[in-house]
Amino acid sequence: MTTGSFLRATAFMLVSAVAIGHAQQEIGVPVPPLGNGPFVFDTAEQGKIRVTVVTRGLSHPWSIAFLPDGSMLIPERAGRLRIVKNGVLDPTPIAGLLPVRTDGNGGLMDVALHPRFAENRLVYWTYTKPVENGKGTPSLARGRLDAHTLTDVKDLVVPDAYEGNGGLNGRVAFGRDGMVYFSTGGNIAKVAQDPASLRGKILRLRDDGSVPPDNPFAGRTGYRPEIYTLGHRNTLALIVHPETGVLWNNENGPNGGDEINIIVPGRNYGWPIVSFGREYPGPRISEHPTREGMESPLVAWLPQIAAAGMTIYTGDRFPRWKGNVFVGSMRVGGIAGTGHLERIVFNAKTEEIRRESMLNDLRQRIREVRQGPDGLLYLLTDEDDGALLRIEPAS
């Protein structure tokens, strides 16, 4: 019996090692193709909701940026940047991206608009940059969007590269201070704790990629001056709280221990010294999940939910959801076919009160969740035939 368990465990570990963040059918429940919808679900505090398939045909879409005209920029993991306008997927991808490494983890990922995009048309994106000898690294680039073409394209940050598929993810967000915040995956040995490495960090940069002199480690010997925070395993969401302006991230634990963190400059978030999670074969990452001198997560998940995109709702269409945090889940506890949308309620002191799991019956990997200009929620499914979903009240 235990031998059988262990063999299955080992198989799972190997699968996970090569395909973290990708669909794993080896262990899971059958996933029916996403129907045409709309789908209506009961929710705990907002009555019935309707989920509409806005468009499909997106190959592993990763994130959403809303353009001033209401259309959306949506990167596909395989390296195409798409436009959805008036609910229609433009068949022509945007030209001018830099080459993207698309094997294994990573690919083309996040996209963000410059705060003055309307004037300067600057678009920022994160992608896995291919490096010699099969290495790769999560990089930040920017370009100027003219119709369907990016011009003046250049890399702003190209962190240290490693072989393998670990830590290739990156997210980008603009702070209220006008600075660019860029997260880099760090689940490679102990690089997340190495102040001389840009991996496993959140970096703070000017909009041209230069380093602001007031960064927390600027001028400290042995520290890269771009570093804003350390000790991140694999950040899959990086957002600015719409009310406080404070930066929040979420990151994937290994087997257990996904977490949401409030990002405080200069702090260490612990990976791989402390974690709520376990290595895939079973041993705990650390005897204790927290310790003095390391930031404890605001929210932790046991088991892990393969947390992805995150948003904090501020609209008027779902009055009971105001201030709630929404997180996409791609897979719960290592079981394929269990992706869903999580809703977390906090009190006035940002202390967790409860969590709701939604859209479970769709069995989709929810990669991204964003609030639209119309106050509705928009989701992306991380599937070969990925879909853009819209959630609206149905009662």
Residue 164 one-letter amino acid: G
Does residue number 5 form part of the binding site for its own copies (CB under 8 A)? yes
Q: How many other C-beta atoms can be found within 10 angstroms of the C-beta atom of residue 319? A: 10
b/e per residue, 325-364, with b = 16+ CB within 10 A? bbbbbbbbebebbbbbbbbbbbeeeeeeeebbebbeebbb
Nearer to its own copies, 156 or 362 (CB): 362
Does residue 307 sit in helix, strand or coil?
strand
Candidate segments 63-71, 214-222, 227-235, 344-352, binder of its own copies by CB under 8 A: 344-352
Does residue number 353 form part of the binding site for its own copies (CB under 8 A)? yes
Nearer to its own copies, 139 or 329 (CB): 329
Report in angstroms the alpha-carbon separations of 367 from 31, 63, 64, 139.
16, 7, 10, 19
Does residue 269 sit in helix, strand or coil?
coil
The CA-based angle 69-74-76, given to 5 degrees, is 160
Site for its own copies in 127-166 (CB under 8 A): none
* Distance, CA of 270 to CA of 286 (rounded, Å): 10
Q: Binders of its own copies: how many residues, by CB under 8 A?
A: 65
Assess contact for 62 and 380: CB atoms under 8 A. Answer: yes
Site for its own copies in 25-54 (CB under 8 A): 27-30, 42-45
Does residue number 268 form part of the binding site for its own copies (CB under 8 A)? no
Does residue number 186 form part of the binding site for its own copies (CB under 8 A)? no
Nearer to its own copies, 126 or 275 (CB): 275
Does residue number 254 form part of the binding site for its own copies (CB under 8 A)? no
Those residues with Cβ within 8 angstroms of residue 337's Cβ, 6 or more apart along the chain or in another chain: 28, 29, 30, 31, 331, 363
Nearer to its own copies, 166 or 257 (CB): 257
Does residue number 372 form part of the binding site for its own copies (CB under 8 A)? no
Q: How many whole angstroms from its chain centre is CA 283?
A: 26
Does residue number 288 form part of the binding site for its own copies (CB under 8 A)? yes
In the list 90, 160, 207, 352, the residue contacting its own copies (rule: CB under 8 A) is 352
Give me the least distance between CB of 249 and its own copies, in Å please: 18
In the list 165, 324, 329, 364, the residue contacting its own copies (rule: CB under 8 A) is 324
Those residues with Cβ within 8 angstroms of residue 392's Cβ, 6 or more apart along the chain or in another chain: 49, 50, 52, 317, 376
In the list 97, 260, 263, 300, the residue contacting its own copies (rule: CB under 8 A) is 300
The residues binding its own copies (CB under 8 A) are 1-6, 8-9, 12, 27-30, 42-45, 243, 255-256, 276, 278, 280-284, 287-291, 296, 299-303, 314, 319-320, 322-324, 332-338, 345-349, 351-357, 360-361
